[in-house]
Amino acid sequence: MAETGKFDVVVIGAGPGGYPAAIRATQRGATVAVVEKEKVGGTCLNWGCIPTKTLLASTELIAHAREAEKFGVKITGIEADWTAIMERKQSVTDTLVGGILQLLKANGIELVTGAAMINKDKNVVVQTADGERVLETSKVIIATGSDPAELPTFDFSQPSVMTSTDALALDHIPKSLIIVGSGVIGSEFACVFSTLGTEIVMLELMDRMLPTEDSRIAKQMKSSFRKMGVDVRTKTTVEEVLEYKPDSIKVKLSSGEELSAEKLLVSIGRKFNSAGLGLDELGVETDERGRIIVDQAMETSVDDIYAVGDVVGGILLAHTATFEGLVAAENVTGGNATMNYHVVPACIFTTPEIGSVGLNSDKAAEQGIDVIVSRFQFGALGKAMAMGEDYGFVQLVIDAKTDRVLGAQIMGPHASDLVHEVAVAMHLGATAEDIANTIHAHPSLPEAIMEAAEAAHGKAIHVAPPRKK
């Protein structure tokens, strides 16, 4: 006989969408259980955001050490210890996983380990290591996330072919690497391994790398990658695999060229984890890719069943999943919240970093909005020069009629931090003049945002005026 338990809300998935939803529902008085088949923290904490940023922290330190002499500091014997780097990555991850487990316990949330499905009565049936368990409930939040997408071109059982998850478990630094896809994941791994000495060829099917980013950002990032020694080839893909070996792979490119490397990393997006949940039987609507369809309240086509995070598609970011989870938790416990995607900052932890929010000029044009695009180069900023990180720029996209800030793209030092000033300004409906009239500390990196705002009205002090004809 199956073990049972009764809960007001059951959350399936304990990633950045699921565990905040569970905590918020508990804060609102509900009894809650969370089902997780792998590790709490989900992809972000265990196989994505945190592990990659931990690796990047190590490789960025190596890169800075190599340039120390430019700052008057002599360092010799710089060497990467891959085993120690990976041990630190795991330590950071384990510490954060432990923190989430403590939060769930402190909030009185029951964690059930196993694979879940929802039956016709909306109860959640979990296949645990000890047998089947039925969690009686009438309200469910699905937060099952996504996995790395695979291409049929490649045999992922071969040791030379990797997903991003596989790359985070490597026991050595590969001598050479082919990266298929130049999006966020591929670009961040390129920065990690190029710093460690891996010879990298990056292939992108589209006509530019980082194809979803602003065109100016994409162009300058390709130039930056070239300086790092990463060979970025756009309008190029793998036509077929010519040979698999335990320690290498040989492929034929769409250009006709044959290319060999020790490893090949496929980073072409994510696939939605909605299979096996019993959604068809319940009548929960999904699209042809398995994405769960939800409304602004994060509710599915079936009453009292909600879905959040990557599995609903949209903006596949951990912080978006968290806010979706909070909205779902409010509503599943009798609230009336809606999800607003107007201001969602996005960050890419490459070298240099990229931070963006809202519209870029191309998206504004698609929407028929007349905009002013104003820029300020970090090369003209005192703090950036002092740091030795004066590459890149701040770009503001401003409504030409109202002066309201509609978006920003930042490429340069601490871009992932700086973009939040613009995000807050957008959330409050601020204008470029509002930013320009706000005193910014000197010397500081946020001054670049102020300068870009001033430049929109021709008032920038540190930008040379156009030459008179």
**Cα–Cα distances in Å, from 168 out to 53, 95, 304?**
11, 17, 37
Total H helices, total E strands in the chain: 14, 24
**Is residue 442 annotated as a catalytic residue, yes or no?**
yes
Identify the bridge partners of residue 33 per DSSP, sorted by sequence position. Answer: 10, 110
Write the CB contacts of 368 (distance below 8 Å, at least 6 apart in sequence). Answer: none
Closest by CA to 436, choosing from 420, 455, 421, 417, is 455
DSSP state of 274: -
Q: Which of 172, 427, 442, 457 is catalytic?
A: 442
SS3 336: coil
For the chain, the C-alpha Rg in angstroms (whole number) is: 24
Cβ neighbours around 420 below 10 Å, total: 14
How far is 264 from 158, CA to CA, in rounded Å? 10
How far is 295 from 344, CA to CA, in rounded Å? 18
Distance, first Cα to last Cα, the chain: 88
| Burial of 274 from C-beta contacts in 10 A (0-12 / 13-18 / 19+) | buried
How far is 63 from 216, CA to CA, in rounded Å? 25
Identify the bridge partners of residue 136 per DSSP, sorted by sequence position. Answer: 6
- The verdict on whether omega for the bond into residue 443 sits within 30 degrees of 0, i.e. cis, is yes
**Cα–Cα distances in Å, from 138 out to 32, 196, 211, 302, 335?**
12, 52, 42, 11, 16
Active site residues: 442
